[in-house]
Structure 1
Amino acid sequence: MSVPAEENVITPNSMDTAAGLAPASAVSGTASAPASHSNAAPDPDRAVASRVRTFDNAQLRKDFDDQSAFLYLEDFLAPEVTAQLVAAARALLPEVNRNYLPGHKQGGSVSRHTIDRLAPFIAQLYRSKELIGWLEHLTGDKLLLSPADDPHAYALYYYTKPGDHIGWHYDTSYYDGRRYTLLLGVIDESSCRLDYELHTRNPEKADERGSVQIPPGGLVFFDGDKLRHRITPALDNEMRVSLTFEYVTDPNMRPWRRVISNFKDAIAYFGFRQVFSQFARRNAKGEGV
């Protein structure tokens, strides 16, 4: 199902140079090795607050509602935050778990468990109170962090080989409540596009198709159960990396749904070791989910 991650690190693009970053070296195989960054990480709350205060947030909430819980912003992240994510994504290339599901998806993933060990800035951004508060304004919901054993809570998705893609799907929530997906552009040296269809679950509105190519620092935010979407195939010598954050309105999950969710994550994304070793470790410690 999965194959070893590629060892050839693609040469950093112009964003690394523009951000004043040296090329990020590959992380070592040890559990304690952090992703290398040449600059100190910015404070996530301050960086997010500096951006969202410049937006017309009332209009953005209206747009989100009018588009059946969907929003695209070409320029969202502060440049210093984007630079940190680019460096982390390149440093984590040796950790990528690749998968191939005929007729549906091909690509690589790095789960939150690996990110926690090697790129803690991403976890800090995910937990940013300013970010969560802004997203709550858009949705009108109280948003909660995904449980600690959910590998999708924050994860990096890599499209680095010809044909890497994911077919039409919904980000189905196995939780009792809603699950919102925040997709952030990190690296885009590709022709890949996010194709989507709005209003597919709303019988009062006609379906509406759209397509965007998400630049580094761009944002897509949506209710996973409402947006039908796909990523078009990568071509030769292309690279696309995106980061997703998942927030929920109810962190409870029924046991039979948890079984389905765990096997889906193991087969289609992160591998059995990542999914089930974390799950078993937490159960052995008697930790809740």
Structure 2
Amino acid sequence: MSDTATPENTLTRPAQTATGASPSTRDIDATMNTRLAALHTPKLRDEYGQQGSFLYIEDFLPRDYTERLIAAVHDVMPAVNRNYLPGHKAGGSVSRHTLDKLAPFIADLYRSEALIKWLETITGDKLQLSPEDDPHAYALYFYTRPGDHIGWHYDTSYYEGRRYTLLLGVIDDSSCRLDYELHTKTPGIPDQPGSVQYPPGAFVFFDGDKLRHRITPLGENEMRVSLTFEYVTNPSMRPFQRFISNMKDSIAYFGFRQVFRRKSGKTGQA
């Protein structure tokens, strides 16, 4: 079940320069390069590997970037698509197609070459952007009503290669926690449970097929919003897998209009 309100106005994207990069993209790369240079990357890479492709950093984003993400949440509130799957999920979502129009800063941050290269160092994989028709490429997830949650699951990749999930904390006035289990698919290593309540600006990164996880239910008078980025190693997807992915996204997250709008030609620039 869903109730959808999606604005149709399209905002103008930043002007492109002769090099093809917008000023905001250059600024983001410069800022992220500075922030990432301050991290102990070799230690974090080892931690990621030891935890079976999982990494948590409490203080990751620059403060002003977190503030811009919080502002984006308020900009997209009228476009939240709510869904309810009995026994598994309740909450709201805003897909990349709407974010492209109402919160272009998120799209620019997702495409940051500095961020992607750093993630490649952590994973050892060559990462690519998700295809433009993937509404999960970058999306905001809203927990705004008591009981909003998502049950135990993997971020299953329907692509030919791996799909990595990056979670960024945006708003967390809640008692919700990200519960997870490490090594569930690592032969010879016992499952290792963990739990974290990641604050605004925090970073969680993992291989979607390896981390079993959930978000615990929202309490009364609470609110939680997180941002996800999805990167892939191979953007190819077989037709049947595409069908399954589209149906899941339509029913559980964004609604049929957002998932299938690009196929009908009703989309702006991504």
Q: Does 1:233 align with 2:211?
A: no
TM-fit CA distance, 1:32:
2.4
What amino acid does structure 1 have at the position aligned with 2:162? R
Contact map agreement 2:3 2:83 (CA 8 A) in 1: yes
Cα distance in 1, alignment partners of residues 118 and 77 from structure 2: 31
Secondary structure of the corresponding residue to residue 169 of structure 2: strand
Residue 33 of structure 1 and its aligned partner are, at CA, apart by 4.8
Match of 1:68 in 2: 52
Q: Does 1:118 align with 2:105?
A: no
Does the Cα contact within 8 Å between 1:41 and 1:84 map onto a contact in 2? no
1:84 is matched with 68
Q: Is the 8 A contact 1:44 1:81 kept in 2?
A: no
Alpha-carbon distance in structure 2 between the residues aligned to 1:29 and 1:140: 40
Contact preservation (8 Å) 2:24, 2:108: no
246-255 or 271-280, larger mean C-alpha shift: 271-280
Deviation sequence 1:241-280 (CA, Å, 0-9, x none): 0000000000000000000000000000000111112233
Q: Is the Cα contact below 8 Å between 1:195 and 1:212 reproduced in 2? A: yes
Q: Which residue of 2 aligns with 1:3?
A: 3
Match of 2:186 in 1: 202
Q: CA deviation at 1:66?
A: 0.2
Amino acid at match of 1:71: L
2:78 matches 1:94: yes
Listed one character per residue, the Cα deviations across residues 10-49 of structure 1 (whole Å, up to 9, x for unaligned) are xxxxxxxxxxxxxxxxxx9441258xxxxx9792212211
Does the aligned pair in 2 maintain the 1:88–1:119 contact within 8 Å?
Answer: yes
**Matching residue within 122, 125, 129 for 2:113:** 129
For 1:178, give the aligned amino acid. Answer: R
**Shift, 1:128, TM fit:** 0.1
Contact 2:162 2:233 in 1 (8 A): yes
Specify the SS of the correspondent of 1:77: coil
TM-score (ref. length: structure 1): 0.86
Offset at residue 159 of structure 1 (A): 0.2
Check the 8 A contact 1:162/1:237 in 2, yes or no.
yes
Is 1:281 paired with 2:265? yes
2:252 is aligned with 1:268: yes
Give 1:185 deviation, angstroms. Answer: 0.3
Alignment of 1:19-58 (within 5 A): 29-33=7-11, 43-58=27-42
The alignment of Structure 1 onto Structure 2 pairs a total of residues equal to 257
C-alpha distance in 2, partners of 1:71/1:266? 29
- TM-aligned CA deviation for residue 213 of structure 1: 0.4
Alignment of 1:184-199 (within 5 A): 184-199=168-183
Give, in whole Å, the separation in 2 of the partners of 1:33 and 1:251. 28
Residues 1:189 and 1:79: Cα distance change in structure 2 (over 3 Å): same
1:158 aligns with 2:142: yes
Secondary structure at 1:92 match in 2: helix
Identity %: 65
- Kindly state the Cα deviation for residue 180 of structure 1 after the two structures are TM-superposed: 0.2
Change (3 A) 1:210 1:82: same
For structure 1, list consecutive stretches of 5 or more residues without a partner in the other structure: 6-27, 35-39, 285-289
Q: Secondary structure at the match of 1:117?
A: helix
- 2:242 is matched with 258
Q: CA deviation at 1:91?
A: 1.6
Partner Cα distance (2:153, 2:68) in 1: 30
Structure 2 gap ranges (5+) = 13-22
CA distance in 1, matches of 2:119, 2:181: 21
Task: Tell me the amino acid that sits aligned with residue 195 of structure 2.
Answer: S
